[in-house]
Chains A and B, each alone.
Chain A
Amino acid sequence: MTASPPFGMLAELTHRCPLHCPYCSNPLELVRRDRELTTDQWRSVLTQARALGVLQVHLSGGEPLARRDLPELVGHAHGLGCYVNLVTSGLGLTHERMADLARRGVEHVQLSVQAADEERADIIAGARAAKHKKAAAAAIREAGLPLTVNVVLHRRNHDQVGAIIDLAEELGADRLELANTQFYGWALRNRAALMPTRAQLDAAEPVVRAARRRLAGRVEVVYVLADYQDRLPKPCMHGWGARQLTVAPDGTVLPCPSAHVITSLEFDNVTERPLAEIWYESSSFNAYRGEEWMREPCRSCDRRGVDFGGCRCQAFLLTGAAENTDPVCALSPHHGVVEQAVAPAVDVPFVMRG
């Protein structure tokens, strides 16, 4: 099948990060600083991405503010005509830096928050981070930019959903994204400790519903359902290699941020092959485009055009083959693996992100 041009690119500028979130979805093995793309290489990636059709660039990481050349890269992406979204923990986002980044073309900021109160937030972040986030949120608002607060939900903060919503309102968020932990990268290692209980999920639902009503027109509240506890898988990435691509800190080009876990695929690097060629011709991007690759039960299922058989990374991680149905799906013969993982466990300590 012929692919259409991509709309979005997640540029993971660095894996370096001052926080140690146990829920971090970044890989176990991080790209070291000396393997990161240079400024010129990132500029070239952005130029190639725009020529390929990318209109939206998400600058993330790790902590994108850890890159000294962030202002230059923002200006370059903006100059090409891209919409620039900054995804940050907020550490190091001073008033001056935010004002400068906004001038150069950042149009939206996603700020992550770990919990409702500073004490708990700092424990989860493994760093004194919470008070910096308040200052960062203020700087974002003063720069006149829309703010999305991102909160990853798990067993250790699910009880705070109501207070987290209040905090987002207080921080001046236009949008709050409450996302139940997705179990990739470091998060998978902490799955037992992070897995919310059924009771926590049930309790959160009416709280979120009430907040949506109360905040309508002021703060948009998005709630991403707990992955393992839904009977239907998510339509991941709108389909493999369909709309988005990710460039890892070392230039590896991935169809989705977690795809590196699929060790049966070989991923190309922008330092070795043009981005357009990787998008259209590489074996990794073509591996799961369309429906030819599907196995049963997806192959003959009515929902295959809706959810694309779920997440390939999850299928690989939990069943050993990315072509399998995402085991989150109740129709998957491997669904038992997921059921076992959600079975109520005793509280387990976190392994902090290294």
Chain B
Amino acid sequence: MSAWAPRLRRGARLGFDTVRRTPVVLFPEGVLVLNATAAAVVGACDGVATVPDIVGGLAGRYADVRGDDVLTLLRGLVARGVLRPEETGGTG
């Protein structure tokens, strides 16, 4: 699982909704409203950073980041078709 490096799928992007004053992710089938931490997680998904990289990178900036929560969020976004799980070829 650690060799998993998520990235936004083609056609999906982060945005900021000035009406709701919240970060969002926009993709062909819909819109998801994100909180600041979730937006930072999605922003770190570049297809290169693995899940531990992402968690490590965020831990410095957000006090409340827990690895399990990040993994749950990432899995949820994969299930919604927003993120693609990119295999990096590691042993996991």
Contact = CB atoms under 8 A, between A and B. Distances in A.
Contacts, number: 47
B38 interface: no
Interface string A23-63: 00000000000000000000000000011110110000000
A145 interface: yes
Interface string A131-149: 0000000000000011010
Interface string B58-77: 00000000000000000000
A296 B10 CA distance: 45
Interface in B10-50: 10-11, 13, 15-20, 24, 26-28, 30-31
A146 B19 contact: no
B19 A145 contact: no
Nearest to A56: B31
Nearest to B17: A55
A8 B11 CA distance: 16
A56 B9 CA distance: 17
Nearest to B20: A53
> Interface size for chain B: under 10, 10 to 19, 20 to 34, or 35 or more residues?
10 to 19
B81 interface: yes
A81 to B, nearest CB: 6
A91 B37 CA distance: 43
Contacts of B18: 81
Interface in A40-92: 50-53, 55-56, 81, 83, 85
A53 B33 CA distance: 12
Given A174-B10, A174-B11, A220-B81, A7 B19 contact: no
> Mostly helix, strand, loop or mixed at chain A's interface?
mixed
Most A CB contacts (10 A, CB to CB) among B11, B13, B24 go to: B11
Given A51-B19, A53-B19, A108 B11 contact: yes
B31 A55 contact: yes
B32 to A, nearest CB: 10
A55 B26 contact: yes
B17 A107 contact: no
Contact of B15 (A5, A55, A217): A55
Contacts of A174: 10-11
Nearest to A53: B19
15 contacts: A7-B31, A8-B30, A51-B19, A53-B19, A55-B15, A55-B31, A56-B26, A56-B30, A81-B16, A81-B18, A83-B13, A83-B15, A83-B26, A108-B28, A174-B11
Interface of A: 5, 7-8, 50-53, 55-56, 81, 83, 85, 107-108, 145-146, 148, 174-175, 217, 220
Given A5-B20, A83-B13, A85-B28, 5 more contacts: A7-B31, A8-B31, A55-B17, A56-B26, A220-B81
